[in-house]
Amino acid sequence: MLSRPVDRFPRLLGHEFLKKYPYFLACAVPATFSVIASVVTVLFLKETVASPIPIKEFLGFKKGTGELTAQQPEVPEGAPTARSIEGPPEAEKPLPLRALMTRRVIIAAGNYASLSLVDISFRAIQPLFLSTPIHLGGLGLQPSTIGTLLAIYGVLNGVFQVFFFAQMNDRWGSKRVFFCGIASAIPAFALFPVINYLARHQGYSTAVWIAVGFQIALSIVLCLSFGQHSCCGLYQTAAFHLIIRVTGAVFIFIANSSPNRASLGATNGLSQVGIPCLPS
Protein backbone atom coordinates (compact mmCIF):
# COMPACT_ATOMS: atom_id res chain seq x y z
CA MET A 1 0.00 0.00 0.00
CA LEU A 2 2.97 2.30 0.55
CA SER A 3 4.84 1.51 -2.66
CA ARG A 4 5.40 4.38 -5.14
CA PRO A 5 3.83 7.00 -2.86
CA VAL A 6 4.83 9.87 -5.17
CA ASP A 7 2.61 8.50 -7.96
CA ARG A 8 -0.35 7.98 -5.62
CA PHE A 9 0.01 10.99 -3.30
CA PRO A 10 2.08 13.58 -5.20
CA ARG A 11 1.05 16.54 -3.05
CA LEU A 12 1.54 14.80 0.30
CA LEU A 13 4.56 12.61 -0.47
CA GLY A 14 6.12 14.21 -3.54
CA HIS A 15 9.64 14.29 -2.10
CA GLU A 16 12.68 13.69 -4.29
CA PHE A 17 13.94 11.01 -1.91
CA LEU A 18 10.75 8.97 -2.36
CA LYS A 19 11.00 9.43 -6.13
CA LYS A 20 14.46 7.89 -6.07
CA TYR A 21 13.46 5.16 -3.60
CA PRO A 22 9.80 4.35 -4.36
CA TYR A 23 9.74 1.34 -2.01
CA PHE A 24 11.37 3.02 0.98
CA LEU A 25 8.14 3.49 2.94
CA ALA A 26 6.98 -0.05 2.16
CA CYS A 27 10.18 -1.31 3.82
CA ALA A 28 10.57 1.33 6.54
CA VAL A 29 7.15 0.83 8.13
CA PRO A 30 7.49 -2.92 8.86
CA ALA A 31 11.11 -2.32 9.90
CA THR A 32 9.83 0.23 12.41
CA PHE A 33 7.44 -2.34 13.83
CA SER A 34 10.40 -4.71 14.27
CA VAL A 35 12.30 -2.03 16.18
CA ILE A 36 9.28 -1.33 18.41
CA ALA A 37 8.82 -5.05 19.10
CA SER A 38 12.51 -5.36 20.01
CA VAL A 39 12.35 -2.42 22.42
CA VAL A 40 9.16 -3.71 24.06
CA THR A 41 10.73 -7.15 24.43
CA VAL A 42 13.87 -5.80 26.10
CA LEU A 43 12.09 -3.40 28.43
CA PHE A 44 8.82 -5.07 29.36
CA LEU A 45 8.78 -8.83 28.75
CA LYS A 46 9.66 -10.97 31.75
CA GLU A 47 12.18 -13.75 31.25
CA THR A 48 10.76 -17.27 31.64
CA VAL A 49 14.00 -18.78 32.98
CA ALA A 50 14.68 -18.20 36.67
CA SER A 51 18.45 -17.65 36.26
CA PRO A 52 19.19 -17.02 32.58
CA ILE A 53 22.76 -16.79 31.27
CA PRO A 54 23.69 -13.12 30.67
CA ILE A 55 23.87 -12.08 27.03
CA LYS A 56 27.58 -11.17 27.27
CA GLU A 57 28.39 -14.57 28.72
CA PHE A 58 26.23 -16.33 26.15
CA LEU A 59 28.05 -14.58 23.30
CA GLY A 60 31.44 -15.34 24.84
CA PHE A 61 32.40 -11.75 25.74
CA LYS A 62 32.38 -12.51 29.46
CA LYS A 63 33.56 -15.56 31.34
CA GLY A 64 31.11 -17.46 33.52
CA THR A 65 31.21 -17.17 37.26
CA GLY A 66 32.15 -20.83 37.54
CA GLU A 67 30.82 -23.41 39.90
CA LEU A 68 30.57 -22.71 43.57
CA THR A 69 33.30 -24.52 45.47
CA ALA A 70 32.48 -23.31 48.93
CA GLN A 71 31.12 -25.84 51.36
CA GLN A 72 27.35 -25.84 51.56
CA PRO A 73 26.06 -24.48 54.86
CA GLU A 74 23.76 -26.49 57.02
CA VAL A 75 20.18 -26.31 55.90
CA PRO A 76 17.60 -25.72 58.63
CA GLU A 77 14.68 -28.09 58.88
CA GLY A 78 11.88 -27.10 56.50
CA ALA A 79 14.18 -25.02 54.26
CA PRO A 80 14.65 -25.84 50.57
CA THR A 81 16.97 -28.79 49.98
CA ALA A 82 20.15 -28.69 47.92
CA ARG A 83 18.31 -30.33 45.03
CA SER A 84 15.69 -27.59 44.95
CA ILE A 85 18.39 -24.93 45.14
CA GLU A 86 20.51 -26.42 42.37
CA GLY A 87 17.68 -26.75 39.90
CA PRO A 88 14.79 -28.89 38.74
CA PRO A 89 14.77 -32.68 39.21
CA GLU A 90 15.97 -35.02 36.49
CA ALA A 91 12.45 -35.37 35.08
CA GLU A 92 12.33 -31.63 34.45
CA LYS A 93 15.79 -31.25 32.92
CA PRO A 94 16.25 -30.83 29.14
CA LEU A 95 16.65 -34.14 27.37
CA PRO A 96 19.37 -34.90 24.80
CA LEU A 97 18.41 -34.89 21.14
CA ARG A 98 18.25 -38.67 20.83
CA ALA A 99 15.88 -38.95 23.79
CA LEU A 100 13.80 -36.11 22.35
CA MET A 101 13.10 -38.00 19.11
CA THR A 102 9.94 -39.68 20.34
CA ARG A 103 7.05 -40.70 18.13
CA ARG A 104 4.89 -37.83 19.36
CA VAL A 105 7.60 -35.24 18.68
CA ILE A 106 8.34 -36.62 15.20
CA ILE A 107 4.65 -36.63 14.24
CA ALA A 108 4.13 -33.07 15.52
CA ALA A 109 7.29 -31.81 13.77
CA GLY A 110 6.33 -33.60 10.55
CA ASN A 111 2.87 -32.06 10.57
CA TYR A 112 4.37 -28.65 11.24
CA ALA A 113 6.81 -29.01 8.31
CA SER A 114 4.06 -30.19 5.96
CA LEU A 115 1.74 -27.39 7.02
CA SER A 116 4.54 -24.85 6.59
CA LEU A 117 5.13 -26.09 3.03
CA VAL A 118 1.45 -25.58 2.22
CA ASP A 119 1.17 -22.19 3.93
CA ILE A 120 4.43 -20.72 2.58
CA SER A 121 3.54 -21.89 -0.93
CA PHE A 122 0.18 -20.14 -0.75
CA ARG A 123 1.63 -16.92 0.71
CA ALA A 124 4.29 -16.83 -2.03
CA ILE A 125 1.92 -17.58 -4.90
CA GLN A 126 -0.92 -15.27 -3.86
CA PRO A 127 0.74 -11.85 -4.43
CA LEU A 128 2.41 -13.14 -7.62
CA PHE A 129 -0.95 -14.32 -8.92
CA LEU A 130 -2.63 -11.04 -8.05
CA SER A 131 0.05 -9.03 -9.88
CA THR A 132 0.49 -11.25 -12.96
CA PRO A 133 -1.43 -10.02 -16.04
CA ILE A 134 -4.71 -11.78 -16.77
CA HIS A 135 -3.55 -13.15 -20.13
CA LEU A 136 -0.62 -14.84 -18.35
CA GLY A 137 -2.83 -16.53 -15.76
CA GLY A 138 -3.08 -13.94 -12.99
CA LEU A 139 -5.41 -11.12 -12.02
CA GLY A 140 -3.37 -8.08 -13.09
CA LEU A 141 -3.95 -5.87 -10.04
CA GLN A 142 -1.95 -2.81 -9.06
CA PRO A 143 0.39 -3.01 -6.02
CA SER A 144 -1.84 -0.66 -4.03
CA THR A 145 -4.88 -2.89 -4.60
CA ILE A 146 -2.88 -5.97 -3.66
CA GLY A 147 -1.74 -4.22 -0.51
CA THR A 148 -5.33 -3.39 0.36
CA LEU A 149 -6.41 -7.02 -0.07
CA LEU A 150 -3.54 -8.31 2.04
CA ALA A 151 -4.23 -5.67 4.69
CA ILE A 152 -7.88 -6.77 4.84
CA TYR A 153 -6.70 -10.35 5.24
CA GLY A 154 -4.30 -9.36 8.03
CA VAL A 155 -6.93 -7.49 10.03
CA LEU A 156 -9.60 -10.18 9.61
CA ASN A 157 -7.14 -12.94 10.45
CA GLY A 158 -6.06 -11.22 13.66
CA VAL A 159 -9.64 -10.60 14.76
CA PHE A 160 -10.68 -14.14 13.90
CA GLN A 161 -7.76 -15.72 15.77
CA VAL A 162 -8.37 -13.65 18.90
CA PHE A 163 -12.15 -13.94 19.15
CA PHE A 164 -13.04 -17.29 17.55
CA PHE A 165 -10.11 -19.71 17.66
CA ALA A 166 -10.41 -20.46 21.39
CA GLN A 167 -14.12 -21.23 21.14
CA MET A 168 -13.61 -23.47 18.09
CA ASN A 169 -10.68 -25.29 19.69
CA ASP A 170 -12.60 -25.84 22.94
CA ARG A 171 -15.68 -27.11 21.13
CA TRP A 172 -14.20 -29.27 18.34
CA GLY A 173 -10.69 -30.04 19.62
CA SER A 174 -7.27 -29.21 18.23
CA LYS A 175 -7.19 -32.23 15.90
CA ARG A 176 -10.40 -31.29 14.08
CA VAL A 177 -9.42 -27.61 13.91
CA PHE A 178 -6.02 -28.55 12.50
CA PHE A 179 -7.61 -30.85 9.92
CA CYS A 180 -10.17 -28.24 8.82
CA GLY A 181 -7.43 -25.63 8.53
CA ILE A 182 -5.07 -27.64 6.34
CA ALA A 183 -7.98 -29.04 4.29
CA SER A 184 -9.05 -25.46 3.45
CA ALA A 185 -5.84 -25.09 1.44
CA ILE A 186 -7.29 -27.41 -1.26
CA PRO A 187 -10.10 -25.06 -2.38
CA ALA A 188 -7.85 -22.05 -1.72
CA PHE A 189 -5.33 -23.28 -4.30
CA ALA A 190 -8.10 -24.42 -6.65
CA LEU A 191 -9.51 -20.89 -6.74
CA PHE A 192 -6.44 -19.48 -8.53
CA PRO A 193 -7.42 -20.84 -11.99
CA VAL A 194 -11.10 -20.21 -11.26
CA ILE A 195 -10.47 -16.53 -10.53
CA ASN A 196 -8.36 -16.18 -13.67
CA TYR A 197 -11.06 -17.88 -15.76
CA LEU A 198 -13.69 -15.45 -14.46
CA ALA A 199 -11.41 -12.47 -15.09
CA ARG A 200 -10.72 -13.58 -18.67
CA HIS A 201 -14.43 -13.84 -19.53
CA GLN A 202 -16.00 -11.20 -17.26
CA GLY A 203 -13.24 -8.72 -16.41
CA TYR A 204 -13.24 -7.36 -12.87
CA SER A 205 -16.82 -8.40 -12.24
CA THR A 206 -18.63 -8.94 -8.98
CA ALA A 207 -18.12 -12.67 -9.33
CA VAL A 208 -14.32 -12.16 -9.47
CA TRP A 209 -14.27 -10.14 -6.26
CA ILE A 210 -16.55 -12.66 -4.52
CA ALA A 211 -14.12 -15.43 -5.49
CA VAL A 212 -11.15 -13.35 -4.25
CA GLY A 213 -12.96 -12.68 -0.97
CA PHE A 214 -13.80 -16.38 -0.57
CA GLN A 215 -10.15 -17.28 -1.14
CA ILE A 216 -9.08 -14.79 1.55
CA ALA A 217 -11.62 -16.34 3.94
CA LEU A 218 -10.20 -19.81 3.22
CA SER A 219 -6.68 -18.54 3.90
CA ILE A 220 -7.88 -17.33 7.30
CA VAL A 221 -9.20 -20.82 8.03
CA LEU A 222 -5.78 -22.16 7.01
CA CYS A 223 -4.24 -19.96 9.70
CA LEU A 224 -6.26 -21.82 12.33
CA SER A 225 -3.77 -24.64 11.79
CA PHE A 226 -0.66 -22.58 11.32
CA GLY A 227 -1.22 -19.69 13.72
CA GLN A 228 1.76 -17.74 15.06
CA HIS A 229 5.20 -18.63 16.44
CA SER A 230 4.94 -16.77 19.70
CA CYS A 231 3.62 -19.24 22.24
CA CYS A 232 6.23 -21.95 22.56
CA GLY A 233 8.64 -20.13 24.83
CA LEU A 234 6.00 -19.29 27.40
CA TYR A 235 5.10 -22.78 28.61
CA GLN A 236 5.85 -22.12 32.27
CA THR A 237 4.23 -18.71 32.52
CA ALA A 238 0.67 -17.59 33.01
CA ALA A 239 0.87 -15.84 29.65
CA PHE A 240 1.19 -19.23 27.97
CA HIS A 241 -2.40 -20.11 28.78
CA LEU A 242 -3.56 -16.87 27.17
CA ILE A 243 -1.36 -17.05 24.08
CA ILE A 244 -2.03 -20.74 23.48
CA ARG A 245 -5.70 -19.80 23.06
CA VAL A 246 -5.00 -17.39 20.20
CA THR A 247 -2.39 -19.37 18.28
CA GLY A 248 -2.60 -22.17 15.74
CA ALA A 249 -3.54 -25.74 16.58
CA VAL A 250 -0.20 -27.13 15.43
CA PHE A 251 1.63 -25.34 18.25
CA ILE A 252 -0.67 -26.96 20.77
CA PHE A 253 0.44 -30.33 19.39
CA ILE A 254 4.10 -29.29 19.56
CA ALA A 255 3.75 -28.13 23.16
CA ASN A 256 1.91 -31.29 24.18
CA SER A 257 4.43 -33.56 22.44
CA SER A 258 7.35 -32.27 24.53
CA PRO A 259 8.54 -34.95 27.01
CA ASN A 260 8.73 -32.33 29.78
CA ARG A 261 8.58 -28.60 30.26
CA ALA A 262 12.33 -28.15 30.23
CA SER A 263 12.51 -29.72 26.75
CA LEU A 264 9.85 -27.50 25.20
CA GLY A 265 12.40 -25.12 23.69
CA ALA A 266 14.31 -28.01 22.12
CA THR A 267 11.07 -29.53 20.84
CA ASN A 268 10.07 -26.25 19.25
CA GLY A 269 13.56 -25.83 17.78
CA LEU A 270 13.44 -29.32 16.31
CA SER A 271 10.07 -28.51 14.74
CA GLN A 272 11.39 -25.25 13.31
CA VAL A 273 14.25 -27.12 11.60
CA GLY A 274 11.72 -29.00 9.52
CA ILE A 275 10.15 -25.85 8.05
CA PRO A 276 10.83 -25.74 4.29
CA CYS A 277 12.64 -22.59 3.16
CA LEU A 278 11.01 -21.83 -0.18
CA PRO A 279 12.31 -19.10 -2.52
CA SER A 280 9.86 -16.22 -2.71
What pLDDT is attached to residue 89?
54
What pLDDT is attached to residue 205?
93
Segments making up each domain of the chain, as ranges: 5-38, 103-273
Tell whether pTM > 0.75.
no
What pLDDT is attached to residue 88?
52
Residues 195-201: contacts with CB under 8 Å, at least 24 apart: 195/129, 195/139, 196/129, 196/134, 196/137, 196/138, 196/139, 199/134, 199/139, 199/140, 200/134, 200/135
pLDDT band at residue 54 under the 50/70/90 scheme: confident
pLDDT band at residue 131 under the 50/70/90 scheme: very high
pLDDT band at residue 236 under the 50/70/90 scheme: very low
Stretch 242-268: mean pLDDT: 66
What pLDDT is attached to residue 106?
80
The DSSP code sequence of 135-189 is GGTS----HHHHHHHHHHHHHHHHHHHHHHHHHHHHHH-HHHHHHHHHHTHHHHH
Q: Specify the higher pLDDT residue, 194 or 82.
A: 194
What pLDDT is attached to residue 173?
84
Q: Specify the higher pLDDT residue, 64 or 232.
A: 64
Least confident among 65-79, 127-141, 164-178, 213-227: 65-79
Residues 233-242: contacts with CB under 8 Å, at least 24 apart: 233/48, 233/264, 233/265, 233/268, 234/48, 235/48, 235/261, 235/264, 236/48, 236/261, 237/46, 237/48
Percentage of the residues of the chain whose pLDDT score is greater than 90: 28
pLDDT at residue 114 greater than cutoff 50: yes
pLDDT at residue 272 greater than cutoff 50: yes
pLDDT at residue 201 greater than cutoff 90: yes
Stretch 36-63: mean pLDDT: 79
Highest-scoring range by mean pLDDT, 74-78, 189-193, 231-235: 189-193
Q: Which of 262, 236, 234, 256 is nearest to 90 (CA)?
A: 262
pLDDT band at residue 63 under the 50/70/90 scheme: low
**Cα 243 to Cα 259: distance, rounded to the nearest angstrom:** 21
Residues 103-109: contacts with CB under 8 Å, at least 24 apart: 104/256, 104/257, 105/257, 105/258, 105/259, 105/267, 105/270, 105/271, 107/257, 108/250, 108/253, 108/254, 108/256, 108/257, 108/267, 108/271, 109/254, 109/267, 109/270, 109/271, 109/273, 109/274
273 close to 110: Cβ distance less than 8 angstroms: no
pLDDT band at residue 202 under the 50/70/90 scheme: very high
